[in-house]
Amino acid sequence: MNTAPDITDWRSRRWPLILLALAMGSVLGFGLREQLGRTRAAEQPMSESSNADDPAVDESAFQTDVATSTVPPLHEDLAAKSRRVVATTSASVVRIDVERDAGQWSDSAYAGEAHYELPTTEQGTAVVISADGYLLTNLHLIQAARRITATHERFAGDVAEIIGVDKATDLAVLRLNQTDLSPIAWSERSAHVGEFVWALGYPFGFQRSASFGIISAIHEKPPRKLGMPFGCLQT
C-alpha cells in the first residue's frame, strides 16, 4: 500500500471549489461552468379596439417577420457551447488505472460510505493541474494502490507517483514524468445556482465521455448524513 504526505496546505486550500465532479463517481469536474445567455425579442404590446371596424387601427403594426430573427434556438446555442468546452478542456483530462493486491479494504469513509473491500482493478479520472506532470484525482480511487498508471492523448500507461493526499476532501495529487502538459484553467468567480456545468472523464472504465447539467444547489454545509465535512456543488 502506498503512503503519501498530507496535502492540506498544498497550493492553498481550494479543494472544495474543485471537488464537484471529481467526487461524483470519479467523473472529472473542474471549472467548466459557463452561463448561457439568451437574447429574447421584445414583444410589442397589443391592445384591443372596442370597434373592430375602426379604420384607424393599423394591423401591420402588430405583424413581425420571424424569418429575419437572428436568435438561434436554445439547443443550437447550447450544442455549440458544449463542443467548445469539450475541445478546450480535453487535453487536460487523464484516465487513471489502478491495480491492487487482493484483500485490500477502503481507508476512507467517502460520502458516508462504510468501509468496503476494494476491487483489484479500478478506473477513473484525473485532471492536469500543472504543465510539469501534476494531476488531481480522488483519494478513494487510488487508495491502497499497488500500481497507478495514466493514459492521455499524448501517452499511455505512464506510471503515476502519489505526491500527497487529503482524506478530509477525498483528494489526491499524483505526478507523472511528463512535461508540457495542458493544465486546466481555473475560474476565480463564484458559482451560482442555474449555471451550466460540463463533466469530462472516464467513468467506470469507459472511453472518454462528456455530460452536461446545471448547478442545482450550493451546499456550504451539506447535511450530516452525507458524511461530507466540506462544501459541495449539487448537479
Query: Domain limits of the chain?
Result: 16-34+84-234
Distance CA 44, CA 48 (A): 13
Q: Cite the beta strand spans of the chain per DSSP E.
A: 33-34, 93-99, 121-128, 134-138, 147-151, 158-159, 161-166, 171-175, 196-201, 209-214, 217-219, 232-234
pTM: 0.66
CATH topology of domain 16-34+84-234: Thrombin, subunit H (2.40.10)
Neighbouring CB atoms inside 10 A of 25's CB total 13
Listed as ranges, residues in the chain with pLDDT below 70 are 1-76, 108-114, 205, 222-230
> What percent of the chain shows pLDDT beyond 90?
38
Residue range 36-87, pLDDT digits in tens: 333 333 344 444 444 444 445 454 443 444 444 455 566 668 888 899 999 9
pLDDT of residue 13: 41
Q: Do residues 99 and 144 lie in contact, with contact meaning Cβ atoms separated by under 8 Å?
A: no
